[in-house]
Structure 1
């Protein structure tokens, strides 16, 4: 089981290994946040605001005297898990609907395509702002908004892959055997779509990270005392003039996470064959 994984990692170019390392680093930070965070997420630990790095506070303090390192660790947990959950939901829903459209064809395909074209025409930022303004910000709503926003994009890619596969001989043979649509989609088509879908999952993950960070920067994302990386930048914006670590560190965290994901996506694209 482990040997194929090691072979795949060794086959990656240097940029892909760097990207994989960055992504795994932030996933590990997010998963282990309760164990490695020095303080509670909202604990006040310093009388000074925007204090510099020290032996006690490695990244200094924020605008309220809280530990920046702790805030980043907990903020990465919300950013990574929300983005990963929304990306998985978007890819799962988009791919399922796309395979249904390709297998059924006819009016089913036309209706689903027109519905997805309608959804993809809605600006993602405006849709998110309207939904948050109407229903209030919550983790569940942010997850649903991000998944809904990026499902149509995945549908278009998945449908293009599925339409190529549905005309191939092995799918036609499965149909002639009387196999059900679920079997054809799950056993015949999905294994041949997996590599492009993994690349698209990575792209959706990056898009969701940027969407959630943008919403949080506007004050409509994760609400205090909880935080994600975007809200950490917003709440410490007053420290920008002094170059405080409280605003620099979360910005660097967002950059390394998204750049790492992009490097990994670029590295696995050559293997994306159907």
Structure 2
């Protein structure tokens, strides 16, 4: 344990400034999301003033279209938007990675069936597909998570299958088959550890895409529903302020952009470290 901690500290010590900045931003977002009820000065749905009150000492970022404190809404938005995006990405990876490992390990008709199904799903732009399905089944939280996770799992499937195909032909996998090891054991113990680095990097990128998709759906009115605080819907609800020179609606959009950039910084560094490339 001590050796692993020392190696982690050494790895962080030689990381570039961009990766350190990204990790710091991610840490701030995580702390904000977890401690939202303690950090926010007001409740998530509490009406505390008049509509569109300007920035002042009581409300540092003013109030929104219903008189709710914008600063509190942004803080709670971190917990809602980031939390839902993380849960959706986890589900997408669970579906996509298992399907990809099965396709690479079983090959034959199972690989063809899963690959053709994924090709059909990827032929339709994901945002358009999500809008269509959510319009049919409804826009509650569970439906949104399931729809986005299934659509995004197709990308995870393609990557998992591609990298696993290079591993299943190795001698140690064939030796495991000859020993009589089961399919699940081979996938979990022989293949998955050897493809974990690209999957970990892909998780960061997938999280960004899911995060942006949820924000886009909320902006269009099909994401997280009111009165839940969500950065995408906050931009839409307060967009009229931009006409009066008020930059308040830009702040939730900037929060989305900052987290996306921070995650990409960390993913780029992680890919560089795990690829074996050196300066």
Q: Fold match, TM over 0.5?
A: yes
TM (normalized to structure 1)? 0.95
- The answer to whether the aligner puts 1:164 opposite 2:178 as a matched pair is no
Counterpart residue number, 1:214: 216
Tell me if structure 2 keeps the 8 A contact 1:97–1:155. yes
Tell me if structure 1 keeps the 8 A contact 2:85–2:210. yes
Counterpart residue number, 2:189: 187
- The answer to whether the aligner puts 1:32 opposite 2:35 as a matched pair is yes
Counterpart residue number, 1:46: 49
| Counterpart pick for 1:124 among 118, 123, 126 | 126
Tell me if structure 2 keeps the 8 A contact 1:125–1:211. yes
Matches within 5 A, 1:55-70: 55-70=57-72
TM (normalized to structure 2)? 0.93
Residue segments in structure 2 that go unaligned for 5+ positions in a row: none
State which drifts further: 153-162 or 136-145: 136-145
In the alignment, the residues of structure 2 paired with residue 112 and residue 177 of structure 1 have an alpha-carbon distance, to the nearest angstrom, of: 28
Structure 1 residue 273: Cα displacement? 4.5
- The answer to whether the aligner puts 1:84 opposite 2:83 as a matched pair is no
Counterpart residue number, 1:19: 22
In the alignment, the residues of structure 1 paired with residue 198 and residue 232 of structure 2 have an alpha-carbon distance, to the nearest angstrom, of: 29
In the alignment, the residues of structure 1 paired with residue 194 and residue 106 of structure 2 have an alpha-carbon distance, to the nearest angstrom, of: 19
Structure 1 pair 273–97 and aligned structure 2 pair: CA distance change class (3 A): farther
RMSD after superposition: 1.6
Tell me if structure 2 keeps the 8 A contact 1:50–1:244. no
Structure 1 residue 140: Cα displacement? 0.9
In the alignment, the residues of structure 1 paired with residue 58 and residue 168 of structure 2 have an alpha-carbon distance, to the nearest angstrom, of: 61
Structure 1 residue 10: Cα displacement? 2.3
Spell out structure 1 runs of 4+ moving beyond 4 A: none
Aligned residue pairs total 273
In the alignment, the residues of structure 2 paired with residue 46 and residue 222 of structure 1 have an alpha-carbon distance, to the nearest angstrom, of: 24
Structure 1 residue 236: Cα displacement? 0.4
Counterpart residue number, 1:231: 233
Structure 1 residue 103: Cα displacement? 1.0
In the alignment, the residues of structure 2 paired with residue 47 and residue 63 of structure 1 have an alpha-carbon distance, to the nearest angstrom, of: 8
Residue segments in structure 1 that go unaligned for 5+ positions in a row: none
